[in-house]
């Protein structure tokens, strides 16, 4: 079932986090995977422990580690400062390789202007909604007002229709994101795997959300390892083939792996 969704009755049905291997190319989602999700994205802080673990893993893997997030690269840099890591932001819309070059499609961000104004009016008309302006994408959060989920979907779909078929609405945990189509976390992983130092390694993708399923499917097709973090109660479909119970479990896994001096490359 390469690339397909795995049906399971409970998260425990998936194998746990695999033993560390220095021959991996490691791709890590951020919010919900390395950091607990907060009500407002700006409330999230990266603890010193996390930065140390990520930096050590980066060196242990010969630089073959990248953050793959819905956040912008600029937001990731602020979170993980002073580290400057290979990263894909805005669900693959922007990407910075290990060589520091940033790949970013141009000529479309200004098209979001009308949608931004329209969605801001919607947000201001209801309590508990938050519109996050990422520059090249717009994220509508309804975590504080879950009863408005359907209204939020209608508003986002209406804004997308006005922009045209090259834009789409990306669904996440209590958030809907309006962005240019054609790029996702899977395409970002595939692009990294064509470049040094990722090329020739076994890809491993760790994520927690429906937006990470594209990454899972991509590494599955490459014969790699996919890990879903904290599968919600009642959710029975994921392309991931391994599981981690929580953010803390992922951090403990990284810590124990890096303490294991016997890790060998494939």
Q: What is the pLDDT of residues 158-190, one digit of tens each?
A: 888 888 888 888 888 788 888 887 889 999 999
**Tally of structural domains, the chain:** 2
Kindly state whether residue 266 falls inside one of the protein's structural domains.
Answer: no
Domain encompassing residue 78: 6-105+183-259
State which of 180, 206, 240 marks the end of a domain.
180
Six token digits for residue 19? 């033993």
List the structure tokens of 252: 């403990």
Q: DSSP code of 35?
A: B
* 170 and 192 both lie in a single domain: no
Residue 264 included in any domain: no
Any domain includes 265: no
User: What are the beta bridge partners of residue 2?
Assistant: none
Same domain assignment for residues 135 and 227: no
Q: What is the CATH number of the domain that holds 147?
A: 3.30.70.1020
- Name the pairing type of β-strands 175-180 and 242-244: unpaired
Together in a domain, 54 and 28 = yes
Which runs of consecutive H residues, i.e. helices, occur in the chain? 48-60, 73-80, 112-124, 149-163, 185-192, 213-221, 247-259
Q: Residues 55, 23: one domain?
A: yes
Give the whole-angstrom CA distance, residue 135 versus residue 159. 16
Q: Are residues 78 and 18 in the same domain?
A: yes
Note the pLDDT tens digit of each residue in 198-257: 999 999 999 998 889 999 999 999 999 999 998 765 565 899 999 999 999 999 999 987
Give the count of beta carbons closer than 10 Å to the beta carbon of residue 39.
12
Q: Do 197 and 87 belong to one domain?
A: yes
Give the β-pairing of 225-229 and 202-207.
parallel
**79 and 124 co-located in one domain:** no
Could you tell me if 43 and 92 lie in one domain? Answer: yes
Structure tokens that stand for 196 in this block:
């040094």
| Model pLDDT, residue 38 | 80
User: Which pLDDT score, from 0 to 100, does residue 244 have?
Assistant: 93
**Counting Cβ atoms within 10 Å, is residue 163 exposed (0-12), middle (13-18) or buried (19+)?**
middle
**Which of 134, 161, 180 is the C-terminal boundary of a domain?**
180
Q: What is the pLDDT of residue 229?
A: 94
62 within some domain: yes
Residues 190, 97, single domain; the answer is yes
92 three-state secondary structure: helix
Active site residue 29: yes
Question: 203 and 219 in contact (C-beta within 8 Å)?
Answer: yes
Is 36 inside any structural domain? Answer: yes
Q: How far is it, in rounded angstroms, from Cα 129 to Cα 152?
A: 9
Domain boundary among 127, 150, 180: 180
Are 61 and 21 members of one domain?
Answer: yes
Do strands 242-244 and 237-238 pair parallel, antiparallel, or not at all (unpaired)? unpaired
Q: Is residue 18 part of a domain?
A: yes
The enclosing H or E element of 163 equals: helix 149-163
Termini Cα distance of the chain:
24
SS3 assignment, position 113: helix
Same domain, 100 and 114: no
């Amino acid at each position: 079932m390469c690339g397909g969704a795995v049906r399971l009755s409970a998260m425990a049905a998936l194998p746990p986090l695999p033993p560390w291997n220095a021959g991996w190319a490691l791709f890590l989602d951020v919010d919900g995977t390395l950091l607990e999700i907060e009500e407002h994205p700006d409330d999230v802080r990266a603890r010193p422990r996390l930065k140390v673990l990520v930096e050590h893993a980066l060196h242990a893997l010969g630089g073959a580690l990248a953050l793959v997030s819905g956040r912008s690269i600029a937001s990731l840099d602020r979170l993980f400062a002073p580290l400057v890591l290979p990263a894909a932001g805005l669900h693959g819309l922007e990407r910075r390789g290990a060589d520091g070059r940033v790949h970013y499609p141009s000529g479309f961000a200004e098209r979001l202007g009308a949608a931004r104004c329209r969605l801001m009016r919607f947000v201001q008309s209801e309590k508990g909604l938050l519109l996050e302006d990422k520059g090249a994408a717009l994220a509508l959060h309804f975590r504080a007002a879950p009863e408005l989920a359907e209204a939020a979907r209608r508003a986002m779909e209406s804004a997308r229709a006005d922009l045209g078929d090259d834009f789409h609405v990306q669904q996440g945990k209590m958030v809907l994101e309006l962005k240019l189509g054609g790029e996702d976390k899977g395409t970002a992983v595939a692009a990294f795997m064509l470049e040094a130092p990722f090329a020739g390694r076994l890809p491993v993708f760790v994520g927690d959300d429906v937006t990470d399923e594209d990454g899972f499917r991509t590494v599955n097709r490459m014969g790699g390892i996919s890990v879903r973090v904290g599968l919600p109660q009642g959710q029975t479909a994921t392309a991931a083939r391994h599981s981690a119970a929580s953010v803390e479990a992922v951090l403990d896994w990284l810590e124990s792996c890096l303490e294991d001096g016997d890790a060998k490359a494939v």
